[in-house]
Amino acid sequence: MKYENIQFNCRYFRGDVPCIPNKERNKICDTCDEFSPVSKRILIIKLGAVGDVIRSTPLAVRYRKEFPGCHITWFTHTPGVLPKEGIDSIRTFDFRNVYDISHRHFDIAVNLDKEPEACALLSDLSAGKKYGFTWDKTHIDVANPDAQHKLLTGLFDNLSMQNRKSYQEEIFELCGYKFNKEPYLININTDFVKKWSILRNKAHGNKVIGLNTGCGRRWTTRLWPEKYWIQLVKKLQKKNYFPVLLGGPEEEHRNKILSQKANAFYPGTFSLEEFIGLAANCDTIVTGVTMMLHIAVALKKPVILFNNIFNKYEFDLYGNGIILEPSSGCDCFYGQTCKRDRHCMFDIGVENVLNAVKTL
């Protein structure tokens, strides 16, 4: 084996340790029949919340189609949600990884985040083409003209309210593409899916309805009233559905109370991987605009979405869901506090939710 025969552009090349073909099958570059050249090196920066990361993954699907054999690196704060089958290198945003990536060259680099650190990273990178948001000395800027629309809707509420494009349409447009309903990617642990198949036994053959009762701490104006959840659970049970209360640590106290008052099954809180496996065993999901929404879409589950403070056009349910909004409208666009004496979420009726479940 000669040094000049090393295939640095092979997707199996790892740099500091033997590649898999060498480690497992004793192959070496100058005679290897598994050489797989990298057609394009692509970087996607989407740090954000779990749901935002999941709903950005259709872009990776598109890049795979556009550039067969491409190598995709993804920067994120939540690596566990991304599937290794669809993303070649999943990196957390820390000094070691940032220092490494900043010394590599990419054919395409995309930043979908508006945080200064993400913008600064794109600005510092070496890339043939840059898309999305970058940094210009003292402020955020766009790396390419197609990103202007997405920046403007993020800066001005009145423009955001007028927007009629989904999030996916915006990020595809930002990269010079038209969104064609490319699917979500998500990391599914089949062991957890199998573990929570016990829901089928508990449901005795009935449909399992996952009820995600929380909405996080940032925008509590999205919360549906506790008494409505209790009424919904009881009505679902009368119709022979099997409701399951879902949520994370922030919803645990609420879900325990709901479980007691409505005699509903509450399995508890789990790791992200196990939560996805649990959700995979639900037939339909009822949720607000949270991580659960994007997990449901990724799992191709019918979803009933509560929305009040956001622009409903932002959400693409892939023809497999229903968006329910307050009949009285909402006065608090992206608001963290409600302007009304009676919260608008009281105007999403229980019967409307029940009818949506029946429809789906």
The reported pLDDT for the residue numbered 219 is 62
Provide the token pair at 259. Answer: 């479980």
Q: Do residues 304 and 357 lie in contact, with contact meaning Cβ atoms separated by under 8 Å?
A: yes
199 and 167 belong to one structural domain: no
Is there a domain that residue 23 lies in?
Answer: no
85 and 230 belong to one structural domain: no
The reported pLDDT for the residue numbered 320 is 96
125 and 215 belong to one structural domain: no
335 and 215 belong to one structural domain: yes
pTM: 0.93
Higher pLDDT: 309 or 258? It is 258
Is there a domain that residue 229 lies in?
Answer: yes
The reported pLDDT for the residue numbered 9 is 92
What are the pLDDT digits (tens) for 325-345? Answer: 999 888 888 877 777 778 888
Is there a domain that residue 113 lies in?
Answer: yes
Q: Do residues 126 and 107 lie in contact, with contact meaning Cβ atoms separated by under 8 Å?
A: no
- Helix ranges (H only) for the chain are 20-25, 50-54, 58-66, 95-101, 116-124, 148-155, 157-162, 167-174, 190-195, 198-203, 226-238, 252-262, 272-279, 291-298, 350-359
Question: Among all chains, which residue has been given the structure tokens 């699917």?
Answer: 183
The reported pLDDT for the residue numbered 334 is 80
Is there a domain that residue 154 lies in?
Answer: yes
54 and 168 belong to one structural domain: yes
pLDDT at 360 exceeding the cut of 70: yes
Provide the token pair at 100. Answer: 């490494």
Question: If DSSP codes are grouped into helix, strand and coil, which group holds residue 136?
Answer: strand
Is there a domain that residue 329 lies in?
Answer: yes
244 and 351 belong to one structural domain: yes
**Distance in angstroms (rounded) separating the CA atoms of residues 34 and 262:** 58
142 and 202 belong to one structural domain: no
What are the pLDDT digits (tens) for 243-258? Answer: 999 999 999 999 999 9
Tell me the residue range of the domain where 88 lies: 41-174
268 and 197 belong to one structural domain: yes
Q: Per-residue pLDDT averaged across 296-309, rounded?
A: 95
The reported pLDDT for the residue numbered 115 is 94
Domain termination residue (choose one: 142, 174, 206): 174
CATH of the domain at 308: 3.40.50.2000
Closest CA to 279 of 159, 189, 177: 189
Q: Do residues 239 and 207 lie in contact, with contact meaning Cβ atoms separated by under 8 Å?
A: no
Q: Per-residue pLDDT averaged across 258-283, rounded?
A: 96
What are the pLDDT digits (tens) for 50-59? Answer: 999 999 999 9
The reported pLDDT for the residue numbered 251 is 92
Please report, rounded to a whole number, the percentage of residues in the chain having pLDDT higher than 90.
83
314 and 342 belong to one structural domain: yes
pLDDT at 25 exceeding the cut of 80: yes
Q: Per-residue pLDDT averaged across 219-224, rounded?
A: 80
Residue type, 48: G
The reported pLDDT for the residue numbered 309 is 81
Residues in the chain: 360
Q: Do residues 167 and 55 lie in contact, with contact meaning Cβ atoms separated by under 8 Å?
A: yes
Domain termination residue (choose one: 141, 174, 207): 174
Q: Do residues 224 and 345 lie in contact, with contact meaning Cβ atoms separated by under 8 Å?
A: yes
The reported pLDDT for the residue numbered 153 is 92
205 and 170 belong to one structural domain: no
What are the pLDDT digits (tens) for 46-86? Answer: 998 899 999 999 999 999 999 999 999 999 999 999 998 88
Is there a domain that residue 9 lies in?
Answer: no
CATH of the domain at 73: 3.40.50
Q: Do residues 293 and 286 lie in contact, with contact meaning Cβ atoms separated by under 8 Å?
A: no
What are the pLDDT digits (tens) for 166-217? Answer: 999 999 999 999 999 999 999 999 999 999 999 989 999 999 999 999 876 6
The reported pLDDT for the residue numbered 217 is 67
**Distance in angstroms (rounded) separating the CA atoms of residues 79 and 53:** 9
**Distance in angstroms (rounded) separating the CA atoms of residues 36 and 7:** 9
The reported pLDDT for the residue numbered 342 is 82
Question: Among all chains, which residue has been given the structure tokens 């009424």?
Answer: 231
137 and 234 belong to one structural domain: no
283 and 350 belong to one structural domain: yes
Is there a domain that residue 76 lies in?
Answer: yes
Total Cβ atoms within 10 A of residue 27: 18
Please report, rounded to a whole number, the percentage of residues in the chain having pLDDT higher than 70.
99
**Distance in angstroms (rounded) separating the CA atoms of residues 307 and 324:** 6
Is there a domain that residue 311 lies in?
Answer: yes
Exposure string over 39-54, b if 16+ CB within 10 A, otherwise e:
ebbbbbbbbbbbbbbb
Question: Among all chains, which residue has been given the structure tokens 């119709």?
Answer: 239
Continuous segment of H or E residues that includes residue 45: strand 41-45
How many structural domains compose the chain? 2
Domain termination residue (choose one: 129, 146, 174): 174
**Distance in angstroms (rounded) separating the CA atoms of residues 357 and 352:** 9
The reported pLDDT for the residue numbered 345 is 87
Residue 106 phi, psi dihedral angles, 5° rounding = -120, 150
